[in-house]
Amino acid sequence: MPFSEYSGQLYFLLTSVLIFFSIASFFLSVFTLSNAWRLRNVRLSWNTGRFFGFPLFASLFMCLSLALGGIAWYNGMSAHYMVAGLYTFLALNWMVASYFMSRRYITDHGIMKNINDPSQTVAWHEIHDFAENEVQDGMAFVFIYKRTSEYFELAQFNRLEITVPRETAENLRKILNHKLGRRFRYTLTDESILNKINSKP
């Protein structure tokens, strides 16, 4: 079989895979956007992305896709317009989905870990202790919560750590004081206690 036939089949296969992932990324972004739109009673939220608040890898992939698309357009490479457009479409959907998935949401119900999986939300009544400590990127809040295992039917203590920007930390403290203040006599701020919580057996 001539090499040109092999290259044509390979191009068709790679394009088909690209179309599949583009469609999948579209459904993911729509699903994530709908969950963000339906989210109610949000008391506080902030971005955790490392690229001006956006996810780093999704942002870099978007920049690369736009650059390749621009090169194809500038050089009149019309045969590659569809592929460049698919990459840009994929990058856009990935960036949108990653942006909302990486955001932290504090609601009246609790701390949302994953906007696409509400079952991972840590409810306020599940939190048994918490601590805060200053880190380079802001304030680190460590929460110890208790949840019954789905498989073993045993209560397990889990640890959740979130980093909060300094300008947002005070608002979070007010929410914690309102939601947890009556259950805790004090907030753990001693560094030695925090290290004990952070340490692994």
pLDDT tens-place string over residues 126-175: 998 888 888 888 899 999 998 876 665 677 888 999 999 989 999 999 99
Q: How confident is the model at residue 13 (pLDDT cuts 50, 70, 90)?
A: confident
Handedness of CA 175, 178, 180, 185 (dihedral sign): positive
Residue 68: which of 89, 98, 95 has the closest Cα?
89
- Tell the residue number behind the tokens 């690209």, with chain if given: 18
pLDDT score of 35: 93
Q: How confident is the model at residue 111 (pLDDT cuts 50, 70, 90)?
A: very high
Instruction: Answer whether 50's CB lies under 8 Å from 165's CB.
Output: no
Residue 29: which of 65, 55, 64, 52 has the closest Cα?
55
176 vs 186, more confident = 176
Select, from the ranges 94-98, 127-131, 148-152, 192-196, the one with the highest average predicted confidence (pLDDT). 94-98
pLDDT digits over 25-49, tens only?
Answer: 999 999 999 999 998 899 999 988 8
pLDDT score of 189: 46
How far is 82 from 175, CA to CA, in rounded Å?
49
How far is 71 from 38, CA to CA, in rounded Å?
39
Percent of the chain clearing pLDDT 70 (strictly above): 83
pLDDT score of 6: 56
pLDDT exceeds 50 at position 181: yes
How far is 127 from 154, CA to CA, in rounded Å?
16
6 vs 45, more confident = 45
Question: What's 71-139 look like in SS3?
Answer: HHHHCCCHHHHHHHHHHHHHHHHHHHHHHHHHCEEEECCEEECCCCCHHHCEEHHHEEEEEEEEECCEE
Three-state DSSP state, 53: strand
Where in the chain are the domains? 3-105, 121-198
